[in-house]
């Protein structure tokens, strides 16, 4: 359908046009149009980025004396859409034109069929996230293999629909029997039930408590959980944990504390009753430390033991992650240090198990895993933060190397500028929703290749539930209306006034 004619000077990146009478209703921001390229006759696709309306009777300078009312505003007034060229169809995707567009060329509305063809992906291996913003009839698919191998980021200011969109993604991945693990700091996902798939909920207390084997904690994890650990205590802990690892198949805090008590007795000159560890080793260790250090470390380990998460045996990885299963790790009852440690330990376990299976051929963990981290700026922050965040290292590692072992990462954040830039730039697909904060916009533009100035400019205008999806999992970067979810999740806006009114009646 012809909707207008190219005017003015054109470039290889864009052009402007005037609208044919009666076609105004088709000309909206985000709409797809096409023109024929001079010389080749290729059908060049573009997207309307801007619509300028000027009136020759009311030029800019005229504004000072403007009196609306006795002026017929429509006379001599014409809207001029500005189009950004996307390219013409080639086997490998869209290719930018080389010859240019002639002024005077006819401008057409792109047929649904053409857009469908360009955005098409094999339904068996892709996720339907929604439809093109301006065309409800054109579905948008993203490649599942790609988002899991090359990771994805869901970025937007608060309340724009990140978690909702992640919910849609979860539904789609479960249709493909996915193995998904969500780290959920606000307990928003615990009610998510997807028909035909299993949901497993873990927390840090109560009946669904996650259990982590004490032997998987490293000294850094201990130091993270015990912020007031002194340097000598840390050294002693390191040696004690390494003894425990050497002389016991598996151990818990009681065993670690037991070793420390033996060291205490050795220091104190008492007789030693040891079972596993040779007396001499304990006596050697005792020489290096003071009684007060040993005592203080035992008290700190007592505090850790009371958290109840770290035990002799942990929840088996095969239970935590399985095909056709959504696992929600509810961290809403956990403090930040414990949350960081749980994320670090579980991600490390998954990564190591997959590495063993894929690379060394010795492991048994057959399940490629997709890990979703909500509030990712807290768990993979930029290094400028004042303290080391223990989960950052492994999240960085997964972002960098996960592809080789089938461990995918989805980071979700409302403060992109606080995210580690390596993690962000390794996420090759971006689902970006409304962002107004200039620092966040600028940071995304710098860190993410596929996000150009032009995309950033569109971000403040996006509506709730609307996203720009770009990157390797999609064939063309497009504004998308995220589809409705078939399941419900928590975290919806609270009707504040409704709650006040309700409570005032009690
Ligand atoms: N595509 C959509 N269709 C319908 N409703 C939506 C859509 N996206 C979001 N919403 C609604 O918008 C509200 C906010 O969405 P959501 O909780 O996903 O935001 P968020 O970006 O995760 O916010 P926060 O940063 O606070 O976690 C919810 O009430 C949700 O139901
Ligand atoms: Mg959310």
CA 142-144-145 angle, to 5 degrees, is 125
Q: Which atom of ligand 1 is nearest to the CA of 186?
A: 27
52 phi, psi to nearest 5 deg: -100, 130
Q: Which atom of ligand 1 is nearest to the CA of 491?
A: 17
Q: Which atom of ligand 1 is nearest to the CA of 166?
A: 18
Q: Which atom of ligand 1 is nearest to the CA of 167?
A: 18
Q: How far is the CA of 157 from the centre of ligand 1 (A)?
A: 10
Tokens of 307: 């958290």
Q: How far is the CA of 159 from the centre of ligand 1 (A)?
A: 5
The predicted pLDDT at position 475 comes to 87
49 phi, psi to nearest 5 deg: -100, -30
Q: Which atom of ligand 1 is nearest to the CA of 161?
A: 18
Q: Which residue, among 402, 444, 442, has the nearest Cα to 421 in the 3D structure?
A: 444
> Taken in order 138, 140, 143, 146, is the CA torsion positive or negative?
positive
Q: Is the pLDDT of residue 237 over 90?
A: yes
Q: Which atom of ligand 1 is nearest to the CA of 168?
A: 1
Q: Which residue, among 401, 339, 313, 413, has the nearest Cα to 372 in the 3D structure?
A: 413
Q: How far is the CA of 486 from the centre of ligand 1 (A)?
A: 14
Residue 370 near residue 149 (C-beta atoms within 8 A): no
| SS3 label, residue 449 | coil
Q: Which residues line ligand 1 (CB under 6 A)?
A: 156, 158-164, 414, 464-465, 482, 484, 491-493
What is the tens place of the pLDDT at every residue in 460-476? 999 999 999 999 999 88
**Ligand 1 atom 12, closest CA:** 161
Query: How far, in Å, CA of 16 to CA of 34, rounded?
Result: 12
**From the CA of 489, which ligand is nearest?**
1
- Residue 278: which pLDDT band, with cuts at 50, 70 and 90? confident
Query: Number of helices and strands (H, E) in the chain?
Result: 16, 20
Query: What mean pLDDT is predicted for residues 251-271?
Result: 90
- Ligand 1: which of 464, 488, 489, 495 to mutate, judged by most atoms within 8 Å of the beta carbon? 464
**Ligand 1 atom 24, closest CA:** 158
Query: How far, in Å, CA of 308 to CA of 306, rounded?
Result: 5
Residue 129 near residue 140 (C-beta atoms within 8 A): yes
Residue 221 near residue 227 (C-beta atoms within 8 A): no
Q: How far is the CA of 446 from the centre of ligand 2 (A)?
A: 24
Q: How far is CA 453 from CA 233, 433, 442, in A?
A: 51, 15, 9
Give residues with Cβ within 8 angstroms of 237, minimum separation 6: 219, 222, 229, 297
Q: Is the pLDDT of residue 51 over 80?
A: yes
Q: Which atom of ligand 1 is nearest to the CA of 489?
A: 31
Q: How far is the CA of 161 from the centre of ligand 1 (A)?
A: 3
Given CATH 1.10.10, say whether it is the number of domain 2-110: no
**Ligand 1 atom 16, closest CA:** 161
| SS3 label, residue 321 | coil
Query: How far, in Å, CA of 169 to CA of 371, rounded?
Result: 12
The predicted pLDDT at position 452 comes to 84
The predicted pLDDT at position 58 comes to 66
- Residue 341: which pLDDT band, with cuts at 50, 70 and 90? very high
Q: How far is the CA of 148 from the centre of ligand 2 (A)?
A: 21
What is the tens place of the pLDDT at every residue in 400-445? 999 999 999 999 999 999 999 999 999 999 999 999 999 999 999 9
What is the tens place of the pLDDT at every residue in 378-394? 999 997 667 889 999 99
Query: How far, in Å, CA of 196 to CA of 478, rounded?
Result: 31
**Ligand 1 atom 29, closest CA:** 492
Q: Which residue, among 25, 172, 165, 119, has the nearest Cα to 481 in the 3D structure?
A: 165
The predicted pLDDT at position 459 comes to 92
Query: How far, in Å, CA of 304 to CA of 227, rounded?
Result: 11
Query: How far, in Å, CA of 219 to CA of 201, rounded?
Result: 28
Query: How far, in Å, CA of 255 to CA of 196, rounded?
Result: 43
| SS3 label, residue 471 | strand
Give 209: exposed, middle or buried? Use CB within 10 Å, 0-12, 13-18, 19+: middle
Residues of each domain in the chain carrying CATH 3.40.50.300: 140-208+315-500
Q: How far is the CA of 185 from the centre of ligand 1 (A)?
A: 16
Query: How far, in Å, CA of 173 to CA of 177, rounded?
Result: 7
170 phi, psi to nearest 5 deg: -60, -45
Are β-strands 179-184 and 325-330 bridged in parallel, bridged antiparallel, or unpaired?
parallel
- Residue 357: which pLDDT band, with cuts at 50, 70 and 90? very high
Residue 480 near residue 467 (C-beta atoms within 8 A): yes
- Ligand 1: which of 154, 163, 466, 494 to mutate, judged by most atoms within 8 Å of the beta carbon? 163
Q: Which residue, among 408, 453, 462, 454, has the nearest Cα to 432 in the 3D structure?
A: 462
pTM to 2 decimals?
A: 0.89
Give residues with Cβ within 8 angstroms of 65, minimum separation 6: none
Instruction: Just give the CATH number of 140-208+315-500.
Output: 3.40.50.300
Q: Which residue, among 388, 452, 448, 456, has the nearest Cα to 423 in the 3D structure?
A: 448
Residues of each domain in the chain carrying CATH 2.40.30: 2-110
What is the tens place of the pLDDT at every residue in 153-211? 999 999 999 999 999 999 999 999 999 999 999 999 988 888 889 999 999 988 899 99
What is the tens place of the pLDDT at every residue in 106-137? 999 999 999 999 999 998 999 999 999 999 99
> Taken in order 247, 250, 254, 257, is the CA torsion positive or negative?
positive
Q: How far is the CA of 173 from the centre of ligand 2 (A)?
A: 19
Strand order in the sheet with 179-184: 135-143, 126-132, 478-482, 466-471, 429-432, 152-155, 407-413, 369-373, 179-184, 325-330, 198-202
> Taken in order 396, 421, 481, 138, is the CA torsion positive or negative?
negative
| SS3 label, residue 53 | strand
Give residues with Cβ within 8 angstroms of 340, minimum separation 6: 224, 378, 379, 389, 390, 391
Higher pLDDT, 283 or 63: 283
User: Around Cβ 279, how many Cβ atoms within 10 Å?
Assistant: 13
Query: How far, in Å, CA of 129 to CA of 166, rounded?
Result: 10
């Amino acid at each position: 359908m012809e909707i207008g004619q190219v005017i003015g000077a054109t470039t290889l990146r864009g052009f402007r046009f005037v609208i044919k009478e009666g076609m105004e209703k088709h000309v909206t921001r985000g709409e797809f149009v096409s023109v024929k390229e001079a010389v080749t006759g290729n059908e060049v696709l573009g997207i309307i980025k801007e619509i300028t309306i000027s009136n020759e009777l009311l030029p800019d300078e005229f504004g000072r004396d403007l009196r609306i009312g006795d002026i017929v505003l429509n006379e001599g007034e014409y809207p001029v859409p500005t189009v950004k060229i996307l390219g013409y169809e080639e086997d490998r995707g869209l290719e930018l034109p080389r010859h240019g567009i002639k002024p005077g060329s006819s401008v057409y509305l792109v047929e649904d069929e053409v857009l469908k063809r360009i955005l098409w992906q094999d339904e068996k291996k892709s996720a339907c996230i929604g439809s093109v913003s301006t065309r409800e009839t054109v579905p948008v698919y993203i490649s599942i293999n790609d988002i899991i191998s090359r990771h994805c980021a869901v970025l937007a200011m608060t309340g724009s629909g990140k978690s909702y969109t992640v919910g849609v993604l979860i539904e789609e991945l479960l249709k493909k029997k996915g193995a998904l693990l969500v780290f959920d700091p606000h307990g928003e996902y615990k009610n998510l039930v997807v028909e035909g798939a299993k949901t497993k909920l873990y927390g840090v207390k109560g009946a669904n408590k996650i259990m982590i084997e004490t032997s998987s904690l490293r000294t850094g994890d201990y130091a993270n959980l015990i912020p007031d650990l002194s340097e000598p205590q840390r050294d002693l802990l390191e040696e004690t944990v390494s003894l425990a690892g050497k002389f016991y198949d598996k151990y818990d805090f009681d065993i670690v504390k037991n070793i420390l008590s033996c060291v205490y007795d050795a220091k104190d000159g008492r007789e030693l009753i040891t079972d596993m560890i040779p007396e001499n080793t304990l006596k050697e260790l005792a020489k290096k430390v003071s009684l007060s250090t040993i005592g203080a470390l035992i008290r700190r380990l007592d505090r850790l033991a009371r958290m109840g998460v770290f035990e002799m045996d942990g929840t088996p990885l095969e239970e935590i992650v399985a095909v056709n299963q959504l696992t929600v790790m509810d961290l809403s009852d956990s403090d930040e240090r414990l949350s960081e440690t749980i994320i670090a330990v579980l991600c490390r376990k998954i990564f190591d198990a997959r590495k063993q299976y894929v690379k060394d051929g010795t492991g048994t963990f057959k399940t490629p895993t997709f890990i979703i981290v909500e509030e990712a700026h807290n768990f993979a922050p930029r290094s400028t933060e004042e303290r080391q965040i223990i989960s950052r290292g492994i999240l960085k590692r997964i972002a960098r190397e996960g592809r080789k072992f089938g461990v995918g990462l989805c980071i979700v954040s409302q403060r992109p500028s606080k995210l580690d830039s390596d993690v962000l730039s390794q996420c090759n697909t971006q689902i970006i929703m409304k962002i107004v904060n200039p620092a966040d916009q600028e940071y995304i533009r710098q860190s993410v290749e596929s996000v150009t100035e032009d995309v950033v400019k569109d971000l403040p205008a996006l509506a709730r539930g609307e996203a720009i999806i770009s990157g390797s999992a999609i064939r063309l970067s497009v504004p998308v209306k995220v589809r409705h979810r078939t399941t419900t999740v928590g975290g919806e806006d609270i009707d504040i006034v409704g709650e006040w009114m309700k409570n005032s009646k009690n």
